[in-house]
Amino acid sequence: MNLEKDFLDGEKIALEKLSKAKDEKRADEKILPILDIINRSDDYYTSSSCAGRIVLLEIPGIGDKKNAKFLGKWHRTIQPEEILSSMKNAKTGQLWLLAQSPIIHITAKNNAAADKMVKTAVASGFKHSSLKSIVGKIVVEICSTERLDSPIGRNGMLFCDDEYLQLLVDIANDVINKSTKKLYRFKNKIKENF
């Protein structure tokens, strides 16, 4: 097994996918400058990422990710009206409001590079960053602690009042705002360190 060749082959495929996603406007614009810095390094390449998002999801039951339906997805702060408008497409299943912090998967060339990336991420506020895999390829997962997972209805019906929905939206927006600040810190630290 040639680790150097495997790393370079994986890098080529990942960067081609990212280039295609950029061309098709499917890449998360807020995180692209960070990905570009990481991908310029000889020791890393990125494989998947998200700058953080708010999601309205309809799922048949807990854990049934395969049959989940996105009713709304925003990579920015939102208003309660956007949730209510997106709910019009709900039919059957549980309705969940999610706010997810950024996540970045990075393949590192070696253990030392992976360790350096994890330490940089943790120093930037991404406290849940760690090694995801060390067999075959070394994958670092950059992620944070902020998130919201809240059931809000079922079968197209909202089960919370306006005041509680506003609270959930405020919390979700706070997750996005904190995520943006952490990404800014992370971007500055990787500029310094890599």
Domains of the chain, residue spans: 3-193
pLDDT reported for residue 53: 96
Can you give the pLDDT of all 194 residues of the chain as single tens digits? 577 888 988 899 998 999 888 888 888 888 999 999 999 999 999 998 999 999 999 999 888 888 899 999 999 999 999 999 999 999 999 999 999 999 999 999 999 999 999 999 999 999 999 999 888 899 999 999 999 999 999 999 999 999 999 999 999 999 999 999 999 999 999 998 88
- The third-level CATH classification (topology) of the domain covering 3-193 is SSo0622-like fold (3.30.1960)
CA 15 – CA 46 distance, rounded (Å):
8
pLDDT reported for residue 25: 82
pLDDT reported for residue 118: 97
List beta partners, residue 44.
108
Outline where 61-161 has alpha helix (H). 80-86, 111-123
Q: Evaluate whether 169 touches 83 at the Cβ level (below 8 Å).
A: yes
Can you give the pTM of this predicted structure?
0.88
Q: Evaluate whether 146 touches 179 at the Cβ level (below 8 Å).
A: yes
pLDDT reported for residue 22: 85
Q: Evaluate whether 105 touches 140 at the Cβ level (below 8 Å).
A: yes
Edge-to-edge strand list for the sheet holding 53-59: 69-74, 53-59, 94-100, 147-154, 157-158
